[in-house]
Chain A
Amino acid sequence: MPAQVTYQRLLGADQEPQNWLTYSGRYSGWRYSALNQINTGNASRLAMQWTFQVADLGQFETTPLVVDGVLYGTGQNDRAFALDARTGRAIWRYQRNLPDKLQPCCGMVNRGFAILGNKLFMATLDAHLIALDTRTGNLLWDVKAADSNAAYAFTVAPLVVKNEVIVGISGGEYGVRGFVDAYDADTGRRRWRFETVPGPGQPGHETWAGDSWKTGGAPAWVTGSYDPELNLVYWPTGNPSPSGYGGARGGDNLYSNSMLALDADSGKLKWYFQFTPHDLYDYDATQVPVLLDEEWNGRPRKLLLQANRNGFFYVLDRSNGKFLQASAFGKVTWATGISPDGRPLLNSNLVPSPEGNRVCPGALGLTNWFSPSYSPDTRLFYVATSDECDIFTSAPQTYREGHDFLGSVYVPDPIARPTGALKALDPSTGAEKWEFKYFSNPNGGALSTAGELVFAGDSDGNFIALDARTGRDLWNMQLGAAIYSTAITYQLDGKQYVIIPAGSALFAFALADQP
């Protein structure tokens, strides 16, 4: 039997690079691996080792976990599986019996498991949290978090902290009222809930006109990061609802499009920072926060980095939420910059109108939910970007439970074809160090490694190894379908593997044996 995954192991995940124990590989959200068997000198020898077919349709967005020789992944329609990580052979498969008529906005997707002890935790499309046995895939407990008839859904990979499982809800396109929850890992009992839209009497409630808070959105659908020293969970939130029409929700609409710093034990809000107040462009702040301890203006500081969907790269002090710096990392027109207090300086000509206004970045953002990466070797921050502007239109809409609540539609600018890039930013200045251009805008993020490589995938099915210092492409392979996820890596029996989901399959790569 594999050793149990204890909280101590999760805390020290960076000390066991042969495994991949959490969504981002470690609590700091780096998606970086200290493995270096595959490196800039030999990446051209990468060769496929095995493939695993989920055999289902839709976007395959999982980040698998790998523990002591076993790979655990989730798939479309809440499928799940455990594989022999050497060979890709299935040990067990699971599929949740989902109700009909689920309509999550952006596909029947799931982004992965969290693990603790012999339990795997999966947040499901019908808004339940379940625990499966690592050895058999058997269901151990199942708790309902919210009502899927009202379009509450989970797509997020949970985060385990101590003995609790933290999840955030999806449904910002349907006027849900968002939350971040923590559940007891043993029993599934809910420990705390943080409502991302404050109710009457709670601070922040005044930032919502009338009853708009009831359908205010602010979902929390991407996995946060954790600082054990401060005992704070950093969890990002998404758009206010309806995303494209703000007429009925006057105010800043807290805590939409924010970074929340929550006490891991109580769920109490320590601080927040709102990136896009009163958003009209669907600029969810649901990008993985990257935690970094670094000198800032001559003194050591606990930083939080985020390349935000709104087009700005932010540096915050994560001990108190203080805004330190922001700079655009691509084409941005909705705001002319960020003021010294962190608020965007709006371009008031570009609010969505009934006829439509062309705004950059488009509704899917300059980047999106797919993971960024930070490498301590190159000291660079890697982020996949979309070069797309959209025509944003706007119209009032009446809320109806379980139905689209968008207030608008956006269509891609018909003049310029969307493209994208993988960019390397210097976190101390936000300056771009290099970019590798994609033909289409990407839906996959970045993994960096001590081999000084960045692994990335594009929407045209290419899996690519780049030189982490220069952005030069060293190797690529066509996998036959769009990549909607981000790579991970692990090592077994002396061999480093890199895993990427594409289409409906997992692909495993390693160095070809020397002839």
Chain B
Amino acid sequence: MINAKQMSLVLTVLALVLAARSQEKAVTNPVAGNPRAIHEGASLFRANCSPCHGLNAKGGGRGPDLTAGRWVHGSTDADLFRTVTRGVPGTEMPANAFDDSEIWAILAYVRSLAPPKSEAVSGDPAKGKKIFWETAGCSTCHMVQGRGGVLGPDLSRVGEARSADYLIDSIRQPSKELSTGMLDPNNHYGLPLVYDTVTVVTADGHKIMGVARNEDTFSIQLIDINQHLQFFLKKNLREVTHERKSLMPAYSADTLKPAELQDLVAYLEGLRAE
């Protein structure tokens, strides 16, 4: 049985829920552009977000560049608010328990970071696709949607995570910003050097080069340049050398002309999750 008092409570709750829903649609950042909020947001961002997204929100080892003006999980204030509070299921973005005012401050800060001045990507993605899969041989090492090699990072969603400038840098100078793996300051567990070239020398003097998928005090697990997994115990090795450079060749303007680079970047920028 439901009495009148309970019914009135139900109706009140229903009204509140509906009001909240309509509010959610209309919601905008109450402190957008407010210098104080931006300042506070910058502090909060540094303390809470920068371990993954980088000190200046330009992307880190685990989180995407937030200055590129590209919002994969929705670009409205309400979308961004939701992304911060609830996280993004299936990714490393966690839910966060901030006060609303703190989230708005963080978002005011993030919105204040003007998208970097980038030469507009003028290339032709169809031509870029051909370069990726055929002429430049990128797919020998990189996978896109289940096809390609396994030595380099999977690029199926690279358009979401990286700016055109970052991609150009990665193609022209792949060793420039060699990721050393970010650490989670609360968990503090080192990630393997997934982009670093490692050379091991076996007891009989055999040299094997590759990328470490994992390494610890006693062992190393490599994908060698022939894209085979190789497992070693360090006690059986003469040497383990971290080259601190990428296995990826640098594509100079001689090997990849500026127009071709634009085409390739246009293709990569279009690689997103559907």
Contact = CB atoms under 8 A, between A and B. Distances in A.
Given A415-B180, A417-B180, A437-B217, A103 B97 contact: yes
A410 B184 CA distance: 11
A68 B187 CA distance: 35
A356 B43 CA distance: 13
A460 B180 contact: no
Contacts of B40: 398
Interface string B205-222: 000000000011110000
Contact of A418 (B50, B55, B190): B190
A251 interface: no
A106 B99 CA distance: 20
B113 to A, nearest CB: 15
Contacts of A391: 55
A482 B190 CA distance: 11
A403 B98 CA distance: 9
Interface in A406-455: 406, 408-412, 414-418, 437-441, 443
Contact of B217 (A105, A395, A438): A438
A164 interface: no
Given A404-B47, A411-B50, A411-B51, A458 B217 contact: yes
A412 B182 contact: yes
B190 A417 contact: yes
A418 B183 contact: yes
Given A439-B216, A440-B216, A458-B216, A406 B47 contact: yes
B48 A404 contact: yes
Given A404-B48, A417-B193, A462 B217 contact: yes
B46 interface: yes
A459 B47 contact: no
Contacts of B183: 412, 418
Given A106-B186, A409-B50, A441-B188, A476 B218 contact: yes
B139 to A, nearest CB: 29
Contacts of B46: 393, 395, 408-409
A17 interface: no
A4 interface: no
A175 B47 CA distance: 15
Nearest to B177: A414
A106 B187 CA distance: 8
Contacts of A299: none
Given A412-B182, A415-B180, A460 B47 contact: no
Contacts of B181: 417
Contacts of A199: none
B216 A395 contact: no
A461 interface: yes
A107 interface: yes
Task: Classify the interface of chain B: helix, strand, loop or mixed.
Answer: loop
B47 A408 contact: yes
B90 interface: no
Contacts of A417: 180-181, 190, 193
Contacts of B42: 395
B84 to A, nearest CB: 15
A101 B218 contact: no
A460 B190 CA distance: 9
A468 to B, nearest CB: 18
A460 B217 contact: yes
A441 B190 contact: yes
B248 to A, nearest CB: 19
Interface in B88-122: 97, 99
A464 B217 CA distance: 10
A412 B183 CA distance: 7
Contacts of A95: none
A315 interface: no
Contact of B186 (A107, A403, A440, A458): A107
A397 B39 CA distance: 10
B189 A461 contact: no
Interface in A373-422: 391, 393, 395-398, 403-404, 406, 408-412, 414-418
A457 B215 CA distance: 16
A356 B55 contact: yes
Contacts of A416: 180
A356 B46 CA distance: 11
A71 to B, nearest CB: 27
Nearest to A368: B188
A391 B60 CA distance: 14
A326 interface: no
Nearest to A482: B189
Contact of A410 (B185, B215, B216, B217): B185
A364 interface: yes
A393 B55 contact: yes
Contacts of B187: 59
Find the residue from B40, B50, B218 having the highest chain A CB count within 10 A: B218
A328 B244 CA distance: 29
A460 B186 contact: no
A461 B190 contact: no
A443 B188 contact: yes
A184 B193 CA distance: 52
Interface in A340-397: 356, 363-364, 391, 393, 395-397
Q: Which of B46, B48, B180, B186 has the largest number of chain A CB atoms within 10 A?
A: B46
Nearest to A415: B180
Given A411-B51, A412-B183, A397 B218 contact: no
Contacts of A397: 43
A76 to B, nearest CB: 13
Interface string B26-65: 0000000000000010110011101100010000000000
A459 B215 contact: no
A418 B193 CA distance: 11
Contact of B180 (A107, A409, A414, A459): A414
Nearest to B60: A411
A462 B51 contact: no
Nearest to B98: A403
Nearest to B214: A460
A39 B183 CA distance: 36
**Which 9 residue pairs are nearest across A and B when measured between Cβ atoms?**
A460-B216, A409-B46, A440-B190, A395-B43, A439-B217, A409-B47, A417-B180, A439-B216, A412-B183
Interface of B: 40, 42-43, 46-48, 50-51, 55, 97, 99, 180-183, 185-190, 193, 215-218
24 contacts: A59-B187, A106-B186, A364-B188, A391-B55, A393-B55, A395-B43, A395-B46, A397-B43, A409-B47, A409-B51, A411-B182, A414-B180, A418-B183, A439-B217, A440-B216, A443-B188, A459-B189, A461-B216, A462-B216, A464-B217, A476-B217, A476-B218, A478-B218, A482-B189
Interface of A: 59, 101, 103, 105-107, 356, 363-364, 391, 393, 395-398, 403-404, 406, 408-412, 414-418, 437-441, 443, 458-462, 464, 476, 478, 482
